[in-house]
Structure formats: structure tokens, C-alpha cells
Amino acid sequence: MERIYIIALDTHCAFTEVGVLTPGGRMREHGRCATTIAALAEEIGRVPRPRVVVLEEGPPADGIARGLSGYADDVAVCDPRRNHLIAKDSDKDDSIDVEKPAQLYRGGYIKRMHHFEI
């Protein structure tokens, strides 16, 4: 597997949970920022390249994916229903929710949702 940093986003209307998975598979950090392209780009810019961004499909996903496409080597929008089935767990909170898509991306288990011109 390529040695990449995986940045997972759990987006909400006002804020986004951000998690960074190291190339070795450990969560380097958790954080929270405003759900704006400028704030997300700043968070992503702190992570060394090569880096990818993964987020689940939802109302803001298309705009976020388009806005962040130049800040990462890949932006993957994935199917939340499939992620839920694969990573089903009794524990649930924002910091856990942000780690699951990163781990699934790392393992090659996400199903990408189709978005035009990303």
C-alpha cells in the first residue's frame, strides 16, 4: 500500500469532525473546524503529502468534494450505508465516526459515490 495520510471528514451543518490517519494506520489527531472550504482547506494543508480526503455522501458532500479537490491527491465520497454495514459497532460518537471511513479507505473497502468533475 502506498504511504499516504488519510484525512476523514464527518460533516455537519455548522462544524466538521476531522481525523488524520497516518500511513502506519494510527489516528494522528482528531479535531473540529467550521464546515467551510476555507477552514477545511486549512486543516488539510497541515497534513503532509501524499494525502487523500474521504467523506460520506450527504447534502454537503458534492460541494465539499469539488472545493477540496485541489488540496488533496484524491477526494473520495463514499456510500454511508455500505460503510455502516462494514464497520458496524456498538460504540458511536463523532470521534469514532470520523475514524471508520479512514480505516475503510485504507483497507480498500469503501464504495465510491459518483460525482461529476471532481
Domain boundaries, the chain: 5-107
Please give the class, per CATH, of domain 5-107: alpha beta
If you average pLDDT over residues 28-47, what whole number do you get?
Answer: 96
Q: What is the pLDDT of residue 99?
A: 87
Of 19, 68, 15, nearest in space to 5 by CA: 19
Question: pLDDT band at residue 118, thresholds of 50, 70 and 90?
Answer: very low
If you average pLDDT over residues 47-51, what whole number do you get?
Answer: 97
Phi, psi of 43 (to 5 degrees): -60, -45
Task: Please determine, for residue 29, whether its predicted confidence score (pLDDT) is greater than 80.
Answer: yes
Task: Please report which helix (H) or strand (E) contains residue 63, including its range.
Answer: helix 61-68
Distances from the Cα of 35 to the Cα of 2, 10, 67, 110, angstroms: 29, 10, 12, 23
75 contact partners, CB below 8 Å, separation of at least 6 = 52, 53, 54, 55, 65, 68, 69, 118
pTM: 0.86
**Percentage of residues in the chain with pLDDT exceeding 70?**
82
**Residue entry with cell 464497520:** 87
Listing DSSP states for 73-91 in one string gives: SEEEEE-HHHHHHHS--S-
CA angle, 95 then 101 then 106, to 5°: 120
Q: What is the pLDDT of residue 17?
A: 95
